Structure 1
Amino acid sequence: MTLNLEYEAEIELNLDYRSIITKVVEKALDLEECPYEVELNVILTDNEEIREINQTYRTIDAPTDVLSFPMIGYETPGDFDGLEEAQEDYFNPETGELLLGDIIISVEKVIEQAKEYGHTRERELAFLTAHSMMHLFGYDHMEENERIIMEEKQKKVLDELTIFR
């Protein structure tokens, strides 16, 4: 796995964010039974930067906690069958790794929401990473039945890592 991780925020989380993100990503890949080595980009930024990205890509002029930019157009969420048929679209030609997508997380929101929900920064960062990974696997939460499936999958990732509220 190639995890390109950039910490662009001036505010410090004061925790081992690289380790937390890595173990959540690896557990999510394992539970979704991803058959490939993957390449993934994660950026930790501040509210202003994520607000600008949110405005540009979603026309929402407000900061958000996490943004996900999947590279794969799944026919069915979490179904990796058939991706090799579009190898030039989904795989890095130099490494052969599946280009999963990009995750952008607001460090400020991690801190704010951990306090708001009464849990640790580690748990909030892990949750946002798990949530975003599910989006990168094609899951969504716009419809009630989709939301339930996605939330169950996120919870399973965190539970198996013993990261609780």
Structure 2
Amino acid sequence: MTIYIENEIDYKFDFDYEKIANDVVNTAIDHLQFPFEAEISITITDNDGIQSINKEFREIDSPTDVLSFPMIDYEEAGKFDHIEANDDFFNPETGEVILGDIVLCVPRILSQAEDFGHSVLREYAFLIAHSMLHLFGFDHMTEAEATVMEQKQREILDILNITRD
């Protein structure tokens, strides 16, 4: 498992943000029974940074809380049987599956934690869990998809005992 974390801003979390990222990523991988070693990139940025990425890749000229860039197309979310047949999904140097990239916006993490009445740690962990599910092909475009995704997010955070309290 390789997790690259790039912190582009000078914000100091009051928790070990690298450990929490590793814990959430590994728990998501275990919980969804992803059968391969994986590589993930996490970028931590500010409103301007995420707005620029959002504009470039999604043609939406505004900041957001998190962006997920999966490297694998799934016929069905959480089904991994097609991955082994495609060498393009693997890093040739490490043999790890390149799951994708996650971009987190610190100002949004801080404001949403306050708005929702829970800790910054919980919001940070939630957004990583949310993004991991996107990297596994899950989405929330329909009510049924949202229900499944919300349940899986809860399960991942419950395993880690990261609650809204």
The one-letter amino acid of 2:102's match is I
The one-letter amino acid of 2:160's match is L
The CA RMSD over aligned residues, in Å, is 0.8
Distance in 2 of aligned mates of 1:104 and 1:153: 20
1:125 shift after superposition: 0.3
- Secondary structure in structure 1 of the residue aligned to 2:95: coil
Report the identity percentage.
51
Q: What's 1:2 paired with?
A: 2
1:51 shift after superposition: 0.5
Distance in 2 of aligned mates of 1:84 and 1:134: 19
1:105-144 equivalent positions in 2, closer than 5 A:
105-144=104-143
Matched, 1:55 2:71: no
Distance in 2 of aligned mates of 1:15 and 1:7: 14
Distance in 2 of aligned mates of 1:92 and 1:57: 23
Distance in 1 of aligned mates of 2:58 and 2:133: 19
Equivalent residues, number: 164
**5+ residue gaps in structure 1?**
none
Distance in 2 of aligned mates of 1:17 and 1:145: 32
Q: Deviations over 1:50-94 (max 9, x none)?
A: 01111111111111000000000011111110211111x100011
1:44 shift after superposition: 0.4
Q: Quick check: 1:13–1:107 contact (8 Å CA) kept in 2?
A: no
Q: What's 2:21 paired with?
A: 21
Distance in 1 of aligned mates of 2:129 and 2:103: 12
Q: What's 2:98 paired with?
A: 99
The one-letter amino acid of 1:136's match is L
Distance in 2 of aligned mates of 1:82 and 1:137: 12
1:9 shift after superposition: 1.4
1:14 shift after superposition: 2.8
- Secondary structure in structure 2 of the residue aligned to 1:56: helix
Q: What's 2:68 paired with?
A: 68
The one-letter amino acid of 2:153's match is Q
Matched, 1:30 2:51: no
Q: Quick check: 1:68–1:104 contact (8 Å CA) kept in 2?
A: yes
Q: Quick check: 1:69–1:136 contact (8 Å CA) kept in 2?
A: yes
Runs of 4+ in 1 over 3 A off after TM superposition: none
